[in-house]
Amino acid sequence: MREQAAAIRDRELSPVDLTEHYLNRVDRLGDDVGAFVTVTAEIAREQAKAAEKAVGQGETAPLLGVPVPIKDLNMVKDVPMTLGSAAFDDFQGFADDHVVTRLREAGTILLGKTNTPEFGLPCYTENSVAPPARTPWDLSRSAGGSSGGAAAAVAAGLAPIAQGSDGGGSIRIPASVCGLFGIKPTRGRVSHGPIVPDLAGLATNGPIARNVRDAALFLDLIAGSVPGDMYHAAPQDGTFLAAADREPGRLRIGRSVASVVPGAEVHPDCLAAYEAATELLTELGHEVEELDMPFDADLVPHFETLWAAMATLTPVAPEREERLRPLTRHLRERGNAVTAPQLFMAQASLQLAVRLAMPVAGRYDVILHPTLAQPPVPVGYFEDVDPAENFERQKRFTPFTSIYNVTGQPAVSVPLHWTADGLPIGVMLVGRMSDENTLISLSAQLEAARPWADRHPPIWD
């Protein structure tokens, strides 16, 4: 992405040619990997022509002429927005989300809207409006979710980078199963407005990229709060891109494979990735020690209450309720049964747990976990059971990610490991509040030691 932007500024690369390159790949491979719900080819071509003219006039927006898709949970004015749901198959965006505005200002070109599960609720991307999102490393397996289409697009070479969002792991999960680098920023680092409320503070926007520096620059461009945001992150020291060029120093890193989800077992391939990451961190001079996890299973029911209540936030016309998928209906039924005192008690209990845990977590510069408890799962793995069991399977698949949406800490998934069968396995690094810089610096150090950006799935060619 950065190289493309520089080549465009130097007039060595045409935004029109670059856009056509990606549109051709989307046309050829998009359905195979289930990357897009909507392809905005006409808009992209018009924006590419305008970008080419702007380059000729000496404009220097940081990503001028670079194509970037937007997740279909984010609103783009005058572009269809399904939220991954057949109940919204004729809905049109009436405003730009703030993250979209910032990307427009950066000069990006809209390729389209990437695939997402219904309302972004599950950790996999299978819906009623587009083909399932599949990891390009094995088309029989899921690309994860809820930013599954975004990750599938980047991994398959349909876009140089993509915007995603993460309310329970939705950037880190697909980054892990698609062999990419993803950042969930600190709560309040990126505005979630102007339409979607940030009541619980679980969700945020962030990048899914092939390398650390592209992700860092992308975060620089979308970061910032606006009046009306309920959460604000502390200012960072310098730019995130500059952090990628700094040595992290000797860090104290706590590691754990314990989770708050009862019955979650970590697959040997995920353990191998975790142990290999520990060995590499030690080789690089960091102090790695076992972390006694300060969270327990008592958190899970409170998080489920909050998640079910959030499932009710999207208004659906009564005559369209039947279009919703079984899992969505199940979660909305649970959410509609939650009383106001129950909701406030769940939120209060989660906050109390975070307050008690932070002094323990704060002893470490970084915390290491597996990103997921299992390798990429087959498409349909979650769908071939009833909704209650579906949700239980999702919890056991993703037992590490959601806790850091509750705490609000920044976290990344780093693609350091591939199985003998060629499946990517990510590891998760978690930083202190408002300290994305340390995560980015450490991730860049890991990338230099074990480069991954030149690894491509079979579908790449």
Q: Which residues are catalytic?
A: 71, 146, 170
Count of C-beta atoms within a 10 Å radius of residue 10: 9
d(C-alpha 157, C-alpha 180), whole Å: 12
> Which residue, chain included where needed, has tokens 């520990």?
278
Omega within 30 of 0 (cis) for the link into 146: yes
> Which residue, chain included where needed, has tokens 């087959």?
378
> Which residue, chain included where needed, has tokens 């969505």?
328
State whether the Cα torsion 27-36-269-428 is positive or negative.
Answer: positive
Quick one: tokens of 424?
């990517």
Residue type, 60: T
| Pick from 217, 204, 144, 179: nearest CA to 404 | 204
d(C-alpha 260, C-alpha 277), whole Å: 22
For 105, the 3-state DSSP assignment is helix
Measured in whole angstroms, the distance separating CA 402 from the mean position of its chain's CA atoms is 12
User: Edge-to-edge strand order for the sheet containing 112-114?
Assistant: 36-39, 112-114, 70-71
Q: Largest Cα–Cα distance of the chain, in whole Å?
A: 61
- The DSSP string of 343-395 is HHHHHHHHHHHHHHHHHHHTT-SEEEEES-SSSPPBTTTTTTS-HHHHHHHHH
Q: Quick check: 111 and 119 in contact, CB under 8 A?
A: no
What would the 3-class secondary structure string for 115-149 be? CCCHHHCCCCCCCCCCCCCECCCCCCEECCCCCHH
